[in-house]
């Protein structure tokens, strides 16, 4: 991986329990996430002019709706950063399959730009910003399997390697 190429891994929910509906309309969930080898690839280059541009992304998703662009803009605003980025998302994770592709792309963008813009933000600060983009984003920012309920997730160490097969259509 170069400084310009970043893998954004998919995840599986090893189990998913719907606890109820929140006042905002989203469901309260309890789950266990495990990252898998399937990844989108993000190519990100720093721009000196402050523009955030997406050169490639998911088919049918407008740039302003793309979570990688939205996360870049959120970080730029929160950090008061005058730098920009060119973002190229090569989608390999199927959209709408529950594998977390958009959330992973958002988290990977936050981590990559934190490094490329030399912001030196800690993981907790990036995860907090990521939560404003989606409930799964902080898990991807932290980069570990996790057990959790809602936005409260704890890292989980998997001590056994298991082979899983995920079939999506």
Residues with catalytic function: 11, 136
Distance of CA 28 to the CA centre of its chain: 19
Name the β-bridge partners of 45: 86
The residue among 74, 63, 149 whose CA lies nearest residue 117 is 74
Q: Which residue do the tokens 């809602």 mark?
A: 150
Q: Count of CB atoms within 10 A of residue 151's CB?
A: 16
**155 contacts 142 by C-beta, under 8 angstroms:** yes
Instruction: Identify which of 150, 151, 154, 156 has the alpha carbon closest to the alpha carbon of residue 19.
Output: 150
H helix or E strand, kind and range, residue 32 = strand 27-47
- For the residues of 82-130, what is the DSSP string, one character each? --EEEEEEE--SPTTSSS-HHHHHHHHHHHHHHHHTT----HHHHHHHH
């Amino acid at each position: 991986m170069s400084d310009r190429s970043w893998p954004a891994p998919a995840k599986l929910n090893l189990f998913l329990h719907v606890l109820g509906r929140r006042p905002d309309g989203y469901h309260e969930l309890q789950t266990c996430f495990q990252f898998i080898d399937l990844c989108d690839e993000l190519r990100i280059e720093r721009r000196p002019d402050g523009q955030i541009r997406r050169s490639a992304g998911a088919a049918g998703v407008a740039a302003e709706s793309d979570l990688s662009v939205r996360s870049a803009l959120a970080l730029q605003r929160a950090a008061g950063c005058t730098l920009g980025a060119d973002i190229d998302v090569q989608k390999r994770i199927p959209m709408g399959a529950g594998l977390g592709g958009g959330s992973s792309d958002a988290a990977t963008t936050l981590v990559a730009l934190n490094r490329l813009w030399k912001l030196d933000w800690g993981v907790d600060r990036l995860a907090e910003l990521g939560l404003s983009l989606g409930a799964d984003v902080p898990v991807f920012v932290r980069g570990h399997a996790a057990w959790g309920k809602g936005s409260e997730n704890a890292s989980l160490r998997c001590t056994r390697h298991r082979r899983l097969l995920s079939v999506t259509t």
